[in-house]
Amino acid sequence: MSKEVLVLNASFEPLSLVSVRRAVVLLLREKAELVEATEQQLRSAGHSFPIPLVIRLVHYVRLPHRNVPPTRSAIMLRDAHTCQYCGEMPGRQELTVDHVLPRSQGGAHSWQNLVTACKPCNQRKGSLTPDEAQMRLIRHPFQPSYVALVLLSNPVAADRWKARMGTA
């Protein structure tokens, strides 16, 4: 059984991931409608419910623009757990977060200046810029949207959403 249910706004925009229990409560209170479910059933004394995979809120929820802070886990998600210098995908424990423009040279702790790097690449680069270290970035860092991070945090939910939107 999937532990997380993708919640869509009334406009089908992904909002968040919630527990199956929370999704069922939203469905029972008629605050959401079932979009996709598993073949399995949740059973209680007098009822049986399909286990939701995707639900959609009945009413549109206006959300303020969400700025997600550049945490280690969010940087790893954005960069797909891949070293942005050599392209390797070592284990999570072997990845570090590197400041493209080193802090010693005035580099900020921001989305646009942070990338994942394997330990050997990070040590090779040290406190140099990529140009000074003669290293190239595979992909330049950027600030992902909140929605992108929600989908990146659960690839199964992302695939369901893409299939729903006809972009899979």
Q: Which residues contact 71 (CB under 8 A, 6 or more apart)?
A: none
pLDDT confidence of 29, banded at 50, 70, 90?
very high
Helix (H, G, I), strand (E, B) or coil at 148: helix
Model confidence at 168: pLDDT above 60: no
Residue 113 to residue 110: CA distance in whole angstroms:
5
Nearest CA to 55 out of 6, 124, 15, 2 is that of: 6
Model confidence at 146: pLDDT above 90: no
Q: 36 with 164: CB under 8 angstroms?
A: yes
Q: What is the pLDDT of residues 153-162, one digit of tens each?
A: 777 766 776 6
CB atoms inside a 10 Å sphere around CB 89: 14
- State how beta strands 32-43 and 48-57 pair: antiparallel
Residue 156 to residue 6: CA distance in whole angstroms:
9
Q: 32 with 55: CB under 8 angstroms?
A: yes
Q: What is the pLDDT of residues 34-67, one digit of tens each?
A: 999 989 998 888 888 899 999 999 999 987 777 8
Q: 32 with 57: CB under 8 angstroms?
A: yes
pTM: 0.69
Q: What average pLDDT does this structure show over 19-29? A: 94
